[in-house]
């Protein structure tokens, strides 16, 4: 039985459908990859995704910002809460206390994507006594114009070895506000203070309503004075805006990548 001859346009239609399906699958997988990893520093089908994402208009992590002690915002805070400390000689410290997001310990200057910092970190202090941890953004809302800095993200009291159990355990004084920089690379500074003693939970319970409305331009020094806190150490990490939506896709570029992989 002779083979049936198909018109030339049938082959063209079939090839076009294959290209369209390959393009759709590639775009979907690329979007899922960015969503799951929170970064674009990965390799996809022999093409560095960071380069590809830049070509498509997708945000990638910005260069690491300067040390927080170069910030006028932090300098002013430290001049009030750590008067006996030489700010110029002060260095970030992760040995006194630990900040972990999803089990990943942050070191001074670490980068963490927004998607990884959506929930409150686990903060521990491996020292005797009671301690308060304050997290602030010193670049809000824009590093070029930090008019809302410092922006308060969280306050937790009663940290430390001697307050790990019982009614005097860690107390979230002001609930965690997720890391969400609108533009540029923002530095998030952790400030650790020692308390005179463990605070009563009932005494701290009303602070949430009072302070959460004062997050922008939060007066760290005023809170420190009110609670008789003593500065111990600081550390920091930074984050940048993360966009998980693919836009301005270059069809020819994706098709060529797909074609080379088949």
Q: Identify the pLDDT of residue 167.
A: 55
Specify whether the CB–CB gap between 189 and 136 falls below 8 A: yes
E-state strands within 117-214 = 122-125, 131-137, 151-159, 171-174, 186-194
In the prediction, which pLDDT does 85 show?
85
Strands 122-125 and 171-174, by their bridges, are: unpaired
Q: What is the pLDDT of residue 21?
A: 66
| pLDDT for res 5 | 53
Residues in the chain with pLDDT < 70? 1-62, 162-168, 243-262
Tokens 């670490």 appear where? 110
Angle at 109 between CA 105 and CA 115, to 5 degrees: 60
Looking at residue 88, its pLDDT comes to 81
End-to-end C-alpha distance for the chain, whole angstroms: 33
- At residue 191, the pLDDT reads 98
Strand, helix or coil for residue 186: strand
Q: What is the pLDDT of residue 203?
A: 85
Q: Give the 3-state DSSP-derived string for 51-107, with helices as H, strands as E and coil as C.
A: HHHHHHCCCCCCCCCCCHHHCHHHHHHHHHHCCCCCHHHCCCCCCCEEEEECCEECC
Residue 87 confidence (pLDDT) = 82
The pairing of beta strand 171-174 with beta strand 151-159: antiparallel
pLDDT of residue 47: 34
Predicted TM-score (pTM) of this structure: 0.71
Question: Domains of the chain, with CATH numbers?
Answer: 8-59+244-261 (no CATH), 68-239 (3.90.280.10)
Give the pLDDT of residue 11.
45
Which candidate, 112, 85, 81, places its Cα nearest to that of 99?
A: 112
**What is the predicted pLDDT for the residue at 204?**
87
pLDDT score recorded for residue 219: 98
Helix (H) or strand (E) holding 239, with range, is: strand 230-239
Question: Which pLDDT score is estimated for 27?
Answer: 55
pLDDT of residue 93: 92
């Amino acid at each position: 039985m002779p083979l049936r001859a198909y018109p030339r346009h049938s082959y063209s239609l079939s090839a076009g459908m294959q290209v369209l399906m390959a393009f759709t699958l590639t775009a979907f997988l690329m979007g899922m990859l960015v969503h799951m990893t929170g970064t674009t520093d990965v390799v996809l089908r022999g093409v560095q995704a960071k380069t590809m994402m830049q070509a498509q208009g997708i945000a990638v992590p910005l260069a690491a910002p300067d040390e927080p002690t170069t910030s006028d915002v932090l300098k002013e805070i430290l001049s009030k809460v750590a008067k006996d400390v030489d700010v110029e000689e002060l260095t970030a410290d992760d040995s006194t206390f630990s900040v972990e997001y999803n089990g990943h310990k942050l070191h001074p200057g670490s980068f963490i994507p927004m998607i990884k910092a959506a929930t409150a970190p686990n903060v521990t202090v491996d020292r005797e006594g009671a301690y308060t941890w304050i997290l602030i953004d010193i670049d809000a809302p824009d590093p070029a114009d930090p008019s809302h800095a410092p922006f308060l993200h969280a306050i937790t009291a009663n940290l430390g070895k001697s307050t790990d159990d019982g009614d005097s355990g860690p107390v979230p004084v002001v609930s965690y506000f997720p890391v969400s920089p609108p533009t540029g690379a923002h530095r998030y500074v952790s400030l650790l203070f020692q308390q005179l003693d463990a605070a009563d939970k009932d005494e701290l319970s009303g602070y949430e309503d009072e302070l959460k409305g004062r997050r922008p331009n939060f007066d760290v020094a005023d809170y420190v004075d009110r609670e008789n806190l003593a500065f111990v150490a600081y550390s920091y990490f930074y984050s940048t805006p993360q966009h998980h939506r693919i836009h301005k896709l270059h069809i020819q570029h994706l098709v060529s990548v797909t074609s080379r992989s088949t």
